[in-house]
Structures are given as C-alpha cells and as structure tokens.
Structure 1
Amino acid sequence: MKTLFICAALVLSLFAKEKVLYVYNWSEYMPDSVLQDFTKETGIEVKYSTYDSNEAMYAKVKTTGTSSYDILVPSTYFVNKMSREGLLAKIDKTKIPNYKNLDSKLLSKPFDPNNEYSIPYLWGSTGISYNASLVKGKVDSWADLWNPTYKNSVLLNDDMREVFGMALKILGYSANSTNPKEIEKAYVKLKELLPNVKMFYSESQKQVYLNEEVKLGMNFNGEGFMANEENPEIKYIYPKEGALVWIDSLVIPKGAKNIDNAHIFINYLLKPEVSKVISEEIGYASPNAKTVELLEDTVRNNRMIYPIDEDLKNSEFQTDVGKALPVYEKYWEMLKTN
C-alpha cells in the first residue's frame, strides 16, 4: 500500500510538472491572447514574468539559477555569452517541426551557428524616434541627439551595449568594438550628451513618447511602431551612421524543469498564424517566412517593421565582445553615476 501511495504521488508530481511553463521575457513582448490560447490548446499554464534589459535577465538567472525558468528571450550577443558559459540547454529540433517555417536568412548567425541553442522569435532594430510636433528640422543621424536644443529632452535605452554602440557608430567605429581606447572615446562622447538625457529607459518607451516626456531619442522599432499607431506625429528613422540590428531568440536554460513543455511552446510560437498575431500586435518583424506571407500589406510594407536594404545600410548585428565586456561595464557605471 505504501509503495502504491509513493508511485501515485510521483505520477501526480510528474503530471503537475507537465502542466506548467515558466517564461521570462521582455516587457510588452508577448500578446496575452497568445499565452491564453496556448494554455487552451495544450493545457499548459504559463507563469509569465518580464524584464527590461538583457543585463537584468542575465543577473536574475545567475542569482536564482537556470532551473527557475523554462524559456528566456535573450538578444543576439547574450545567446553567445550564455551558451559559452554553459547556461543554456541544446534545443532538440526534432520536437519543433515548425522550425521549417523560419527564414533561412535569419538562421545560423555567428552568435549561434546551426541554432543549437536558440530559435529566432522576433527581430528588429534600434534607431531614433522623434515627435515631429516637438522637433523642428530634419532628424537623420545619431548625432542629432547631441543638439543642445534638446536639453533634458532625450531618451536613451537603458542598455549598455546599445548606448555605447550608438556612440561608437558616430565615431566611425564598429558597434562591437573590443578596443579599450575606442570604448573610452565613446564614453567621452556620451558624457557630452548627458545634459540632453532626460532618462535611460527601455521598458515601455512608446508611452514616454506619447506622454511627451521626451522629444526624441533611441528607440526599439516596435515601440516606435506602436507609438506611431496612436500618434502619427511620432516617427521612427534609421540613422545614417547605421541602426543597431538584433534578433531576440527563444532559449531553454540548462536545468529547466519543464523542458518538454518548452519545446511545445517554441513549436507553438512558430505556427504561422500565431507568429502573425505576435508580429502585428507587438510591432516587430517575424523571422517566420510563412508568417510574412500572411501579413496585411500595411504591416508587410511598413518600413518601421520590415526595413528595406537601404534602411539597414551601415547597420550591424551585435556580437559578444568577450574580454572587453568589463571595459564597457566600467564606463557604463561611470556614465550612469556621472
């Protein structure tokens, strides 16, 4: 009898595990309807929490352990960093038949050759948003943020690599520079910008622009798209020095407790009709080739979401800077506490 009780308890425990999934994602980056429909279809309850930067996500995972979550959504260079540090599990593509729907041009990037650890979720750019009713004159360059006219009026992403990437691009360097002298020059350039900076903020940028708390600044293109939907005076442009381009990917932490459910969830998100809902509501480009075919013309032809080659001239994907990271961190801390 005791043995039967123990076996029953184990079965119940396993069943409970099969019905839950812990997802840690960027804020405003997954429609509630998608999570609800996933639960209806699979019976798997999603425990969902959010972060506002790769650094915040990474710190939380390092603090709480990789078994705390089943799905994370790191950006380009953090996939490389986390896989190199042994924080990610390899993905079993045999459990993801919808992988075939992905656009091959967005696969096997240097940060994860063969996509052993990551599956593209959304991709986009970081450029400039501005309120045309508050900004006079042309805006086409990162350098425009330094215009003294915009004192205490500029938003910068609360993201070390993106902020430094912008300054490095202005100086004519790669946004992925590992040269300490170039990084220091970027810091000096950013110090000159501080009088214009109203805030470092990444969580819900569209609302900051809609509330007219800032006039212009760095912005994720999806946030720019959503703000423009509500107020057409809010524009999004690709700076002539080059935008910062990224892919946010679905990964499974090493030690995840619900690894089968994680694969089920990834496969579900790669359904063309599901990816369509995500891309249209969130305002970022889908890496799903089958999804793009389903999109309304107003979305598929919107250059804020789906840029043409000209828009991405001089742009760069972020890559892991390896041993140069502490140099960035030192100057980032100095910048934020200046």
Structure 2
Amino acid sequence: MKKTLLAIALVILLATPALAGSGELFLYIWSEYIPDEVVENFTRETGIKVHLSTYDSNEAMYAKIKLAGKGYDLIVPSSDYVGLMKNENLLLPLDKAKLSNFANLAPQFINQPFDPENTYSLPYMWGSTSIAVNTGTLGTTAVNNIADLWKPEMDGRLLLPNDPREAFSLALKLLGYSLNETDPAHLEEAYLKLKELMPRVRVFDSDSPKQALLSGEVSVGVVWNGEAYIANEENPDIQYVYPPEGFSLWMDSLCIPKGAHNIEEAHTFLNYLLRPDVAAIISSEMGYSTPNAKALELIPEDVRANPIVYPADADIQRGEFQNYLGDATKLYDEYWVKLKTDN
C-alpha cells in the first residue's frame, strides 16, 4: 500500500507544473508568436526556465484553460476572449506593483472596454487580419476588395483562417455591418454569404498560413499581417491589401489564468516583455505592431515604414477592433461548425 501511494504521489508530482518560486514558467501562446532569442535571453538573465506550448485559435486556448483549469502561468488571448474569460472568472488580477515597465505602453492601447484599468491583461501586440495576394500568379487587379474573393476564378485558390470571428468579419464587412455584429438576422445573412464562399476555400489554417502562400498551394489568403510580412519578405509578389469595405483589427494580451502556479515568475516575464528593447525585437522579428511606445524608437526604420506592420492612418480608419460578443459568440460558433461540415 505504501508503495502504491508513493507511486501515485510521484505521478501527480510529475504531472503537475512546478509550484510558485520554482524558477519555471509555463507559457501558452499562439504559434510563431515570440522569438526564440527573447525566451532564451530571459532565461539567461533570470534563470527562469520557460516551457512553451502553442495553439492556433482562441477557441482552442479557451477550451483547454476552461476544461483543464491549471497547467499554464501565462496565456495570450485576443481582446474579445479577455472579456469572455474575465467574465467567467478564469483570470487572475495582475499585481501592478511588480510591473515597473507598465508606463512604457502607449495610452491608446490600455484601459480598453474589455478590461478597464488593465486589471487582468497587458497588451502584447496588435495588428490586422486582411488579404494577402500572390500578384505573381493572379496579377495586381484580381483581388483588391473583399467581394473579389467570391469570384468563380478563386475556386480552390483561397485560404481562410480557422477562426469564426475572422471569417465572419469578411461577410459582415461586405454586407456593410460591424464585425462585432450580434443581431441574429445579420449573422444569418453573413452565414449564407460565407456558405457561397466555401467552394473557393482550399485550406483553413491559423497555424502558419504563409506556408500555403509561399508554396503556391493557394494564391490568396486571409491572414494576420505578421504572416503576410514574413511571406512578403520571402516573395515580394505577395502583397497585403486593406480592402475598402473594411477589415479586422485586433489586440492580443498577456494574462495569468486562474489555475497558474508560478505567479512570481509570470510577473517577472511580463515586466521583461514590457522592456522597450525586448518589445522592439518581438515586433521586428514577428512583423506585428507593438503597443509599447518606447519600443517604437528602437524599431528599424524599414519595419516602422512598412505598411504591412504599421498601416497608414487612412487604412487604420477603415479597420475595426474586435470586441467581446457576449452570448452571440455561441451563434458564431454554431454557424462556423455548419459551414465547415456542410461542404
């Protein structure tokens, strides 16, 4: 019996992340969303070992945190999911006294409606989701707006993110609605419009969509701007279009889930990421925009001047930030399942 209890205790110990003060950190983050050198430098400076796991959608992250309840010390939800997880009591409040670098953040990215006073979240990066076009295969006039994605010649040549909010944003903007629409009648219209688009879709990919563009598997993709930035660096024919109908803007934030064990290490890592030099490296390598005002001064001019990473004010005005949708989220998810299974 003693041997059995000892064996059970050992299994539990090995299966449970280290306790606070362990010198370890369990980070759950989007795929390809933090440079290796940033993590390695953090460990070198602090001695804290980072265990990194990745996901390809907010839905996957949310389901795992909600079901597992523990196992990670930091997560990176988008703004709408910060609101959702805050409302469901899945996040721990931040200790601002341990975040001396908080003042580096630009005012326009803090104190947002989904988390007033940043009680539960810190902005990590922001960006857009829009249309990347291989002009080498399609030319420069084939796709310049959202409506062009519905053209018959796009059959089997389109990539969409595996994300209901981003897919619905296309149809909602095309129909003249907000991408934060909650009216069931308008969402049904968007669903029917997307149903017409499904035959054009060859690939659903939120993990590394640039690969399908670079390989030639697809000629046009609805992608995050960081993916478009890297694809354009490798193949300048891949251009990023901000359509006249509008497009999605988003902000991803760092949060401590309620089941976290390594709270001290989490705050140490958060404060490290808020350093201007670190934030500048992340933005420059990943191709997403930083909310860190002090970091902008350190980002190379060719990155700051690149409209894929930092769009012009006129383009930003056509963009719309994603907000928390409340109960309407369920309807989005139900329609998404139907779209992917009925075709």
Which TM bucket (shorter chain)? over 0.9
Query: C-alpha offsets along residues 40-82 of structure 1, whole Å, 9 cap, x if unaligned?
Result: 10000001000000000001111211x2100000001000000
Mapped to 1, the partners of 2:35 and 2:324 lie a distance apart of 29
Greater CA deviation, 261-270 or 234-243?
Answer: 234-243
Query: C-alpha offsets along residues 5-44 of structure 1, whole Å, 9 cap, x if unaligned?
Result: xxxxxxxx98884310000000000111111110010000
Q: Which residue of the other structure, out of 312, 315, 323, is the alignment partner of 1:319? A: 323
Mapped to 2, the partners of 1:137 and 1:300 lie a distance apart of 24
Mapped to 1, the partners of 2:335 and 2:18 lie a distance apart of 48
On the 8 A contact 2:114/2:324 being kept in 1, the answer is yes
Mapped to 1, the partners of 2:72 and 2:161 lie a distance apart of 25
Work out whether 1:78 is the aligned partner of 2:59.
no
Mapped to 2, the partners of 1:162 and 1:173 lie a distance apart of 14
**Which residue is equivalent to 2:51?**
47
Mapped to 1, the partners of 2:139 and 2:194 lie a distance apart of 23
Q: Which residue of the other structure, out of 165, 169, 191, is the alignment partner of 2:169? A: 165
**Which residue is equivalent to 2:116?**
113
Query: C-alpha offsets along residues 278-297 of structure 1, whole Å, 9 cap, x if unaligned?
Result: 11111000111011011111
Mapped to 2, the partners of 1:331 and 1:279 lie a distance apart of 34
> TM-score if structure 1 supplies the norm length?
0.94
Query: Could you tell me which amino acid in structure 2 is paired with residue 96 of structure 1?
Result: L
Mapped to 1, the partners of 2:318 and 2:238 lie a distance apart of 24
**Which residue is equivalent to 1:5?**
none
**Which residue is equivalent to 1:238?**
242
Mapped to 1, the partners of 2:146 and 2:296 lie a distance apart of 30
**Which residue is equivalent to 2:37?**
33
Mapped to 1, the partners of 2:116 and 2:296 lie a distance apart of 24
Q: Which residue of the other structure, out of 309, 330, 334, is the alignment partner of 2:313? A: 309
**Which residue is equivalent to 2:95?**
92
Mapped to 1, the partners of 2:128 and 2:19 lie a distance apart of 41
Size of the alignment, in residue pairs? 325
Work out whether 1:275 is the aligned partner of 2:279.
yes
Q: Per the alignment, do residues 230 and 129 of structure 1 end up closer, same or farther by CA in structure 2, a change over 3 Å counting?
A: same
> TM-score if structure 2 supplies the norm length?
0.92
On the 8 A contact 1:206/1:226 being kept in 2, the answer is yes
Mapped to 2, the partners of 1:228 and 1:61 lie a distance apart of 34
Give the RMSD, CA atoms, in angstroms.
Answer: 1.3
SS at match of 1:194: helix
- Identity, in percent, stands at 51
Mapped to 2, the partners of 1:83 and 1:157 lie a distance apart of 25
5+ long unaligned stretches in structure 1:
1-12
5+ long unaligned stretches in structure 2:
1-16
On the 8 A contact 2:20/2:261 being kept in 1, the answer is no
Mapped to 2, the partners of 1:92 and 1:178 lie a distance apart of 34
**Which residue is equivalent to 2:303?**
299
**Which residue is equivalent to 1:184?**
188
Distance apart, 1:313 and its partner CA: 2.6
**Which residue is equivalent to 2:130?**
127
Mapped to 1, the partners of 2:181 and 2:19 lie a distance apart of 49
Mapped to 2, the partners of 1:313 and 1:16 lie a distance apart of 44
Query: C-alpha offsets along residues 157-213 of structure 1, whole Å, 9 cap, x if unaligned?
Result: 100111111111100111111111100110100010111100111100111111011
Mapped to 2, the partners of 1:92 and 1:147 lie a distance apart of 51
Distance apart, 1:136 and its partner CA: 2.8
Work out whether 1:69 is the aligned partner of 2:69.
no
Q: Per the alignment, do residues 211 and 14 of structure 1 end up closer, same or farther by CA in structure 2, a change over 3 Å counting?
A: closer
Mapped to 2, the partners of 1:39 and 1:222 lie a distance apart of 25
